[in-house]
Structure 1
Amino acid sequence: MDKITQNPLKTLYLLRHAKSAWENPSLSDFDRPLNKRGKENLPGLANLAAMLNSPPELILTSPSRRTLDTLTGFCRGMSTLFKIEEEKELYHASKEEILSRIQEVPEKIQTLLIVGHNPGLEEFISWILAGSIVSIPLQITTGSFVQMNLNISLWSEIAPETATLQLMIPGRFSSKLSK
């Protein structure tokens, strides 16, 4: 077992919003709600949240309706207190914007959850895992959850090869986590 797996100093969770509805053309992209399948995934995401050994101390989320609805479902599974910050910069953020925001997280925070959108999340995950054992491109579908352990003391130290993928649950499987 390598050092990162044995003693991670930080934990990063990433959650892509659940499947959203497209039927109402009068709604902006920002205001689109979850569709039936997206709503059906929420109990599984709540169960996943309940199983986390280290719940997030800080949650940074895009303020779009679909990300907030997804986060609400996910948080139903957590019994601990945490801080949520809605950040408009995370709405369709690029890999670089996600990285920049993570680097600003206070040192005292050990576990962080980012809730956002593709392609930024997928590009960030591929970038941070570059050089690790993950050599195939990861597809972060709607409702997907990723956990990485980071061998860093400060969030500003995040870089490729500092992360180890611990868990990836594609969105289509999250509904199977329901009780």
Structure 2
Amino acid sequence: MKKNTKVKKQAKFLRFIRKIHRTLGAVLFIFFFFISVTGILLGWKKNTGGIIQAKSYAGISTDFKHWLPVDSLHTIACNVLRDSVSTDLSQELDRIDIKKNKGMIKFIFAEDFWGIQLDGTTGKLLHIEERRSDFIEKVHDGSILDYYLGTTGDQIKLLYTSIMGISLLMFTITGFWLWYGPKRMRKGKRATTT
């Protein structure tokens, strides 16, 4: 009798877990879909022939003493952005990637995901790229809303990643219980019949 009550409690708990799992899945389906698709794209970004992320082109020297000063290279990159992409874009930088082993410096602009690769020695333009991988990454981590809404401090990204992280953790725990719970119940039923 006591064991039968225990099995009923386990069944009730399992129904509760199933309801949480099903509700989380239904509510968060679209978010999990975007996270998984963008995660796959980010994993493959260097293997897409330049569609998602452009290759890093090589300059003529990997020795910094032959390179132009960074401020001169920055001026060249801003001129290329203005002359070759758009005069309307902001020249505010997101970051600068120095690829010493390639003899190349990449200026990544904050607006509209543009990157300019220059030879570090001559300042010659190596490549203009629309950085699709940066856009995909922002969709992946939710910071795309911070970008378009102009929020500072990544508030939306922090909220989004916290909610999605906790949800994925809950999904994992409830999924485990949906697998383990019936095994435990069967074991309990066998014990009551013997």
Bin the TM-score by the shorter chain: under 0.3
Of Structure 1 and Structure 2, the greater helix share is in 2
TM normalised by structure 2 equals 0.24
Of Structure 1 and Structure 2, the greater strand share is in 1
Q: Report 1 or 2 for greater relative contact order, CA contacts < 8 Å, sequence distance ≥ 6.
A: 1
